[in-house]
Chains A and B, each alone.
Chain A
């Protein structure tokens, strides 16, 4: 993503010329091929391994968070009297 901001500077400053070192190339056709591949993967996992990692992390936090909130709510609803 930082690469894109650097490219933003370059793209907005100069015109296309043969001496261009880092013109951002259009990767949309490649992405279209990747995401239209008939592999039965749902769109949220179709991008590759990083999708699965991010999904598992998110779902992990979801499950942990659900357990934690139930714990906190039960604790809040049944106050323990001080001894």
Chain B
């Protein structure tokens, strides 16, 4: 039987890049079809295909790493670079929305009343639910660090408990934010204030949901003994992503909620 003379991972041929690309095509074309012809079939089909692709692709990565042993130290180093580069790209994504916010709020036009918040806008009190949300996410940053140390020290029960707590805090944030959205005295259609507020916080909320899902997958994997005290990169990637989500919130809170009121 042939064995490779290097520590790198030569992946098996996989259909998921193709199905993922088609999913992207279906979602984008489906969006256009929805806008012009009021049918959501194509877009929905694209979303289903995306979910199927993500499930099977990441399932295969778990198989390759945890069950087949392909994630040697050099391979893991590559995965680390990959996650760091991805999070960096997300930082730039949010930078754009912060740029838009500061562009409009540092020099408010006469149409807005020459002031920020614009005339007629009642901003949310930054010391009410937004402050609670800040505490919730900061606490979740502590609990996820607790999880990491528990995993490294082989404390299985503590890792499960602290990771569960982290996810619950993430869900609590989402629920609080959803309630705030419902109760807010302004909407996305309320000029540039509404646009910058809901697009920036909305994309952040989406990232909280993505991060919570990633952590939930890690919880299931921890329960199923996938992680060892030396090798648990999937969890580390989820924890990095979670800290990134937390930091973005801190910038949102200080800029839009606090300074912007």
Residues on A close to B: CB < 8 A?
Answer: 1, 4, 7-8, 11-12, 15, 24, 26-28, 31-32, 34-36, 38, 42-44, 46-47, 54-55, 57-59, 61-62, 64-66, 68-69, 72-73, 76
Given the contacts A61-B48, A72-B29, A76-B37, A28 and B67 also touching, CB distance less than 8 Å: yes
The interface residues of chain B, by DSSP majority, are classed as helix
Residue of B at shortest CB range from A58? B52
Residue of A at shortest CB range from B61? A43
Which 8 residue pairs across A and B have the least CB separation, nearest first?
A: A35-B67, A42-B12, A26-B225, A58-B52, A31-B67, A62-B22, A65-B26, A62-B19
Q: Is B119 interfacial (CB-CB < 8 Å)?
A: no
Partner pick for B223 among A4, A15, A46, CB 8 A cutoff? A4
Per the CB 8 Å criterion, the residue count for chain B at the interface is: 46
Residue of B at shortest CB range from A42? B12
Given the contacts A42-B12, A58-B49, A72-B33, A32 and B67 also touching, CB distance less than 8 Å: yes
Q: Is B157 interfacial (CB-CB < 8 Å)?
A: yes
> Would A11 and B48 count as touching, CB distance under 8 A?
no
Q: Is B15 interfacial (CB-CB < 8 Å)?
A: yes
> Would B63 and A8 count as touching, CB distance under 8 A?
no
Residues of chain B with a CB closer than 8 A to A44's CB: 12, 14-16, 56, 60
